[in-house]
Amino acid sequence: MTILVTGASGLVGARLLPRLVQAGLDCRALARPGSGVPAGVSIATGDLLDPASLASAVQGVSAVIHLAAVFRTTDADLIWKVNLDGTRNLIAAMKAHAADARLIMASTSHVYDADAPRPGAEEDRCSPTLDYPASKLAAEMDLRDSGLNWSIQRFGFVYGDGDGHIESLPRHLAQVKLHPAQRMSMVHHRDIATAMMLALNGAMDGRIVNIGDDAPTSIHELVQLAGGAIEPSSAPLTNPWRLHMDGALARRLGFQPAVRSVHQAAHEGLL
Per mean pLDDT, which range of 36-45, 145-154, 185-194, 245-254 is the poorest? Answer: 36-45
Instruction: Name the band, by pLDDT with cuts 50, 70 and 90, for residue 159.
Output: very high
Stated pTM of the model: 0.97
Domain-wise residue ranges, the chain: 2-159+188-212+245-258
pLDDT at 9: 93
Q: Domain 2-159+188-212+245-258 belongs to what topology?
A: Rossmann fold (3.40.50)
- Is residue 51 scored above 90 in pLDDT? yes
pLDDT at 171: 87
Are the C-beta atoms of 156 and 186 separated by less than 8 Å? Answer: yes
pLDDT at 172: 85
For the residues 242-257, what does the mean pLDDT come to?
A: 98
Are the C-beta atoms of 108 and 132 separated by less than 8 Å? Answer: yes
pLDDT at 173: 85
Instruction: Name the band, by pLDDT with cuts 50, 70 and 90, for residue 56.
Output: very high
pLDDT at 175: 78
Rounded percentage of the chain residues whose pLDDT exceeds 70: 100
For the residues 15-25, what does the mean pLDDT come to?
A: 98
- Is residue 34 scored above 90 in pLDDT? no
Beta strands in the chain (DSSP E): 2-6, 26-31, 41-45, 63-66, 102-108, 149-155, 157-159, 183-184, 186-188, 208-211, 217-218
Are the C-beta atoms of 6 and 31 separated by less than 8 Å? Answer: no
pLDDT at 248: 98
- Residue type for position 145: D
pLDDT at 36: 85
Compute the mean pLDDT over every residue in the chain, rounded to the nearest whole number: 96
Higher-pLDDT residue of 34 and 109 is: 109
Instruction: Name the band, by pLDDT with cuts 50, 70 and 90, for residue 17.
Output: very high
- Is residue 147 scored above 90 in pLDDT? yes
- Is residue 100 scored above 80 in pLDDT? yes
- Is residue 143 scored above 80 in pLDDT? yes
User: Sign (positive/negative) of CA torsion 164, 165, 168, 170?
Assistant: negative
Rounded percentage of the chain residues whose pLDDT exceeds 90: 93
- Is residue 271 scored above 90 in pLDDT? yes
For the residues 254-262, what does the mean pLDDT come to?
A: 98
Are the C-beta atoms of 57 and 4 separated by less than 8 Å? Answer: yes
